[in-house]
Amino acid sequence: MSFQPVILPTDALLLLLLIALAFGAWWGRRQEHLRVGWAKVARRPTGMAAATLLTVFVIIGMLDSLHYRPQLPPEPGKPPAYAVEVLSVLDTLLRPLKVDTEKTYSAPLATHLYSKETVDEGGRELREFPRLKYGGARLGNDLAGYDRDIASLALEGLAGGLAASLVFAVVLRRWLRHRQIAWRSIVATLVVLSLLAGPVAMLATGYHVFGTDKVGQDVLYLALKSIRTGLVIGTLTTLIMLPAAVLLGIVAGYVGGWVDDVIQYLYTTLNSIPGVLLIAAAILMMQVVIANHAEWFTTSAERADARLLALCAILGVTSWTGLCRLLRGEALKLREMDYVQAARAFGVRPLTIMLRHLLPNVMHIVIISIVMDFSSLVLAEAVLSYINIGVDPNTISFGTMINAARMELAREPVVWWSLAAAFCFMFAMVLAANLFADVVRDAFDPRMT
Amino acid sequence: MLAYIIRRLLYAIPILVGVNFITFALFFVVNSPDDMARMQLGVKRVTPEAIERWKSDHGYDKPLFWNGKAAGASKVTDTIFYTKSVRMFVFDFGRADDGRDIAREIKMRAGPSLAVAVPVLILGLFAAISFALILVYFRATYLDAGGVVICVAMMSISSLFYIIGGQWLISKLWHLVPISGYGGLTEGRFLVLPVFVGVVAGVGANSRWYRTIFLEEITRDYVRTARAKGLAEGAVLFRHVLRNALIPVLTGVVVVIPTLFMGSLVIESFFGIPGLGSYTIDAINAQDFAVVRSMVFIGSVLYIVGLLLTDISYTLADPRIRFQR
């Protein structure tokens, strides 16, 4: 089957980010003080466990960022046409989860719908819970084998997970044993993950592991799709604001004078507008722009993506001020250092001084603030989506999941699984990011020795 | 001191002007009033007459900056910029889309917002400082490490889950307090849950931050002196460390005091509290631009007041700091 690749703006930026990371790693290797910092991080078990978990999330997110439009069945005499729906590689991998939708809510691992419906059975009308179309479909109408089926699937998954863990353990041990890396915690994290993922994956072949939502979509699928949205918000926001923050911060601190005044005025003004309200105002305006320029977007995925990118940009505008202020302070301190004075005495141009002497020496602040911002941005997305100023309602994200599930809390009995799934995935992601940020800060902050 | 305050107040003026320009640019330059009208009336099937009517109803049927047709001073005053933006400096916010006076709404709704926000601040401060002190008392033990892990875990949970969990557990399962609603200050039972959730949601991040501040303070020479003269660890912590460490803590708190008026967006809307936070959310959902604009302006004013109070409180709390600049 042929397809047409689609590169959404956020995909392109994520790719750019990966390239920037690779470049940063290459550049950082030659910077002694950065290498020492990362080496410290690599020796910390918590840091490496968190990094492993984050890497898994990043892989899922990147798989979800390779978009394409499948070709429609060819009609004779017409040029090949492509579906309007934009799919990602992750969608293809999880195709059963995406396609096998039920009618409405069903509980995790259920075989029947969550609400009663009128069923016509041999002329008599009965109110009962209808059988699910896909959940436990392999059992047929005989539910006697339910327990055995679940148990055998779970065991198969555990066995698979165990096998995968063994492979990870052997390979990583060989590869990393002689380096100064906390490889045991990496292996331990991967073992736990594969022991969890194995049964979930096997059960997902026959059941809805986390149940289904109001329109019958598999909640596990939604949770996995949310990962990309969280990653995009957490990383692209920083990527967008970073150049401005670094440039303005260093220039303000080093050049001083009226330039400093102007830049300080700029960030004090932006800072004094309450963040949520600025975001709300900007998103309201973006909605108007998007609504009035429907012709810019050919697919709904592109429109949702434009909104996501706009959200990142707005969050960037509200969040660069903190970093800028920190960098200004640091540059102010550094410009009085002997080596900078010496460079100036030798007649080195200001631009070169800033690039070669100031930038490398404020990098630790930049790194710390990137990792610290990530978790708060992921959390912010959920809140903003709840107030309807977050991502597009059609974009799958933790915020939209929580928002949809919240409406059903008043139901009796409670529909809890959407919230539980969103909670688990979001908690794992943010906790990993927070732990990693802690380790990175400990390693790079010169005040903590 | 008075001269300093006056100078700081003067310094606030250009910032407010800047805020005003930014919001004006956001609301009127990115989109023309025509766009807004179309959005409000539904994007498709909008007649030009309907747009004109909406604009004249809401006072947007004027030029942006310069009204050439008007006479005298109203060349400047009879414009959108003057009526919608400059008038804010005298706290004239005009009317919301539903015809109500925004200034009056704000006055009515500030009370309920404060009824939740003030207890959250005070109790939250108390809880976080106590927890941080306990951690510092047991520093470098497993108790401390475990406490930090708990703090990080609590930070990693979205505030939405605290609210949903609180409502579900305390109100729905245990039937202790009403799920949502507001009955004024006399009906305290409505306030228990929002305040409790607000405190719990903030305690993780704050305790961890305060713990770092206390730990930094504990390495100072005067603490060693206090220990050397034989004071008990408790006395050292409470009488010496806490009092000095409170300076950064308090100044961090002072800056948020004025913004308490704005209330918490999420908590208020979840618990149905008729404060400014839920007012803002309603306005965002109804796309009521006038209200959002007013709230942006008020929020900025309050933040600037907070900064001023912070500077003043620094000198009151720590006599070593003088108003030099």
Give B155's contacts in chain A (Cβ within 8 Å): 375, 430, 434
Q: How many CB atoms lie within 10 A of CB A388?
A: 17
Q: Decide if A274 and B281 are in contact by the 8 Å CB cutoff.
A: no
Instruction: Return the residue of B nearest to A274 by Cα.
Output: B299
Interface-testing mutation among B265, B267, B279, with chain A (most A C-beta atoms within 10 A): B265
Give yes or no for A374 touching B (CB within 8 A).
no
- For residue B95, the SS3 value is strand
Residue B306: helix, strand or coil by DSSP? helix
Tell me, what's the pLDDT at B71? 66
Residue A7 neighbours by CB under 8 Å, 6+ apart: A67
Q: Which chain A residues contact residue B25 at CB under 8 A?
A: none
Q: What integer pLDDT is reported at residue A388 of this predicted model?
A: 79
Q: Establish if A313 touches chain B: CB-CB under 8 angstroms.
A: no
Q: Is pLDDT at A176 greater than 50 in this prediction?
A: yes
Collapsing DSSP to helix, strand or coil, B161 comes out as helix
Measured in angstroms, the CA of B72 and the nearest CA of chain A are apart by 33
Residue in chain B closest to A430 (alpha carbons) equals B156
Report the run of H or E that residue B62 belongs to, with start and end.
none
Partner-chain contact B38 A383, CB within 8 Å? no
In the block, which residue shows the tokens 């790079």?
A444
Name the packing angle between helices B159-166 and B189-218 (round to 10°): 140
- CA A222, A228, A231, A233 dihedral sign is negative
Q: Which residues on chain B are in Cβ contact (under 8 Å) with A318?
A: none
- For residues A421 and A397, the answer to whether their CB atoms sit within 8 Å is no
Q: Which residues contact A37 (CB under 8 A, 6 or more apart)?
A: A364, A367, A440, A443, A444
Say which residue, A77 or A38, is predicted with more confidence. Answer: A38
Mean pLDDT of A145-168: 87
Q: Closest residue of A to B15, CA-based?
A: A269
pLDDT at B100: 78
As a whole number, the mean pLDDT across chain B is 81
Q: By C-alpha distance, which of B246, B251, B278, B247 is closest to B262?
A: B278
DSSP E strands in chain B: the ranges are: none
Distance from CA of A125 to the nearest CA of B (A): 35
Residue numbers in B near A291 (CB within 8 A): 38-39, 43
Rounded to the nearest angstrom, the minimum Cα separation between A312 and chain B is: 17
B202 to chain A nearest CA, in Å? 13
Q: Which of A3, A5, A9, A4 is nearest to A296 (CA)?
A: A9
Starting at the earlier edge strand, list the strands of the sheet with A3-6. A3-6, A67-70, A87-88
Measured in whole angstroms, the distance separating CA A231 from the mean position of its chain's CA atoms is 2
- Shortest Cα–Cα distance, B319 to chain A (Å): 24
Cβ neighbours for B279, distance < 8 A, ≥ 6 positions apart: B105, B106, B109, B291, B295
- Is residue A432 pLDDT above 60, yes or no? yes
Band (pLDDT 50/70/90 cuts) for residue B322 is: low
Which stretch of A120-124, A439-443, B177-181 has the lowest confidence by average pLDDT? A120-124
φ and ψ at residue A352, rounded to 5 degrees: -65, -40
Say whether A438 and B152 touch across the interface (CB within 8 A). yes
B183-209 mean pLDDT: 84
> What's residue B130's pLDDT?
92
The 3-class SS string of chain A reads CCEEEECCHHHHHHHHHHHHHHHHHHHHHCCHHHHHHHHHHHHCHHHHHHHHHHHHHHHHHHHCCCEEEEECCCCCCCCCCECCCCEEHHHHHCHHHHHCCCCCCECCCCCECCCCEEEEECCEEEEECCECCCCCHHHCCCCCCHHHHHHHHHHHHHHHHHHHHHHHHHHHHHHHCCCCCCHHHHHHHHHHHHHHHHHHHHHHCCCCCCCECCCCCEHHHHHHHHHHHHHHHHHHHHHHHHHHHHHHHHHHHHHCHHHHHHHHHHHHHHHHCCHHHHHHHHHHHHHHHHHHCHHHCCCHHHHHHHHHHHHHHHHHHHHHHHHHHHHHHHHHHHCCCHHHHHHHHCCCCHHHHHHHHHHHHHHHHHHHHHHHHHHHHHHHHHHHHHCCCCCCCCCCCHHHHHHHHHCCCCCCCCCCHHHHHHHHHHHHHHHHHHHHHHHHHHHHCCCCC
Please give the pLDDT value at position B75: 66
Question: Shortest Cα distance from B137 to chain A (angstroms)?
Answer: 20
> With contacts defined as CB-CB under 8 Å, which chain A residues touch B84?
none
Q: Would you call A265 and B14 a contact, using CB atoms and an 8 Å cutoff?
A: yes
Please check the confidence at residue B128 and state whether its pLDDT lies above 90: yes
Q: Using DSSP, state whether B67 is helix, strand or coil.
A: coil
Handedness of CA B289, B295, B297, B299 (dihedral sign): negative
Residues of A whose CB is below 8 A from B266: 383, 386-387
pTM: predicted TM-score of the whole model, two decimal places? 0.87
* A145 or A55, greater pLDDT: A55
Write out pLDDT tens, residues B237-246: 888 888 888 8
Contact A273 B19 (CB under 8 A): yes
- Omega of the bond prior to B63 within 30 degrees of 0, cis? no
Q: Please tell me the predicted confidence (pLDDT) of residue A252.
A: 92
Instruction: Verify whether the Cβ–Cβ distance A281 to B296 is below 8 Å.
Output: yes
CA distance B41 to chain A (A): 12
DSSP string covering B70-93, please? Answer: S-TTHHHHSSHIIIIIGGGGGT--
Nearest chain A alpha carbon to B37 = A288
Report the pLDDT averaged over residues A27-36. 80
Question: pLDDT digits over B38-63, tens only?
Answer: 767 766 667 777 777 777 777 776 66
The reply to whether residue A423 touches residue B269, judged by beta carbons under 8 angstroms, is no
Residue B99 Rama label (left phi>0; alpha psi -120 to 50; beta): left
Q: Which residues of B touch A404 (CB under 8 A)?
A: none
A339 touches chain B (CB under 8 A): no
Residue B43 and residue A291: Cβ atoms within 8 Å? Answer: yes
CB A66 within 8 A of CB A88: yes
With 80 as the cut, is the pLDDT of residue A121 above it? no
What is the distance in angstroms between the Cα of B300 and the nearest Cα belonging to chain A? 5
Tell me the nearest-neighbour CA distance from B303 into chain A, angstroms: 6
Binned at pLDDT 50, 70 and 90, residue B262 comes out as confident
pLDDT tier, B12 (very low <50, low <70, confident <90, very high otherwise): confident
- Residue closest to A401 by CA, chosen among A418, A414, A388: A418
State residue B126's pLDDT score: 93
> Which of A276, A321, A418, A423 would you mutate first to test chain B, the one with the most B CBs within 10 A?
A276
Work out the percent of chain A whose per-residue pLDDT is above 70: 98
Number of A to B CB contacts under 8 A, please give it. Answer: 128
* pLDDT for residue A449: 45
Q: Categorize the per-residue pLDDT at B325 as very low, low, confident or very high, splitting at 50, 70 and 90.
A: very low
What's the rounded mean pLDDT across residues B286-313? Answer: 84
Say if residue A1's pLDDT is above 70.
no
CA triple B94-B306-B3, angle to 5 deg: 100
Residue B259 has pLDDT above 90, yes or no: no
Q: Is pLDDT of A71 > 90?
A: no
CB contact under 8 A, B303 and A389: no
Pairing of strands A3-6, A117-121: unpaired
Token pair 């069903």: residue: A106
Tokens of residue A19, six digits = 């390239």
**Residue A305 CA, distance from chain mean position:** 14
Residue with tokens 């397809």: A3
> Which residues 6+ apart lie within 8 Å of A436 measured at CB?
A47, A50, A51, A54, A371
Q: Are B278 and B269 spatial neighbours (Cβ–Cβ below 8 Å)?
A: yes
Of A270, A288, A402, the CB nearest to B39: A288
Could you tell me which residue, B39 or A256, shows the higher pLDDT?
A256
Contacts of A270 in chain B (CB under 8 A): 22
Give residue A140's Cα distance to chain centre: 38
Of A261, A277, A368, which to mutate for an interface test with B (greatest number of B Cβ within 10 Å)? A277
Residue whose C-alpha is closest to residue A113's, from A98, A127, A95, A99? A127
Q: Name the minimum distance, in Å, from the CA of B71 to any CA of chain A.
A: 33
* Inter-chain residue contact B15 with A272, CB threshold 8 Å: yes
Tell me which DSSP letter residue B259 carries: G
Q: Do the Cβ atoms of B23 and A281 come within 8 Å? A: yes
Q: Closest residue of A to B33, CA-based?
A: A288
Task: With beta carbons less than 8 A apart as the criterion, state whether B124 and B202 touch.
Answer: yes
d(CA A317, CA A139): 54
Q: Tell me which chain B residues have a C-beta less than 8 angstroms from the C-beta of A430.
A: 155-158
For residue B131, pLDDT beyond 90: yes
Please tell me the predicted confidence (pLDDT) of residue A40: 86
Distance from CA of A171 to the nearest CA of B (A): 31
pLDDT at B65 over 70: no
pLDDT of residue B76: 66
Average pLDDT, rounded, for chain A: 84
Given this model, what pLDDT does residue B150 score?
92
**Contact predicate A231/A57, CB 8 Å:** yes
* Tens digits of residue pLDDT in B76-98: 666 777 767 677 776 777 777 77
Task: State mean pLDDT over B273-289.
Answer: 84
Averaged pLDDT for residues A81-91: 81
Contact B26 A438 (CB under 8 A): no
Contacts of A269 in chain B (CB under 8 A): 15, 18-19, 22
Q: Would you call A284 and B289 a contact, using CB atoms and an 8 Å cutoff?
A: yes
Query: What is the band of B67 on the pLDDT scale with cuts at 50, 70, 90?
Result: low
Please give the pLDDT value at position B237: 86
Q: Per-residue pLDDT averaged across A320-324, rounded?
A: 89
Looking at residue B250, its pLDDT comes to 81
pLDDT for A261-302, tens place per residue? 999 999 888 888 888 888 887 887 787 777 777 777 777 778
Residues 264-303 of A with CB under 8 A from B: 265, 268-274, 276-278, 280-282, 284-285, 287-289, 291-292, 294
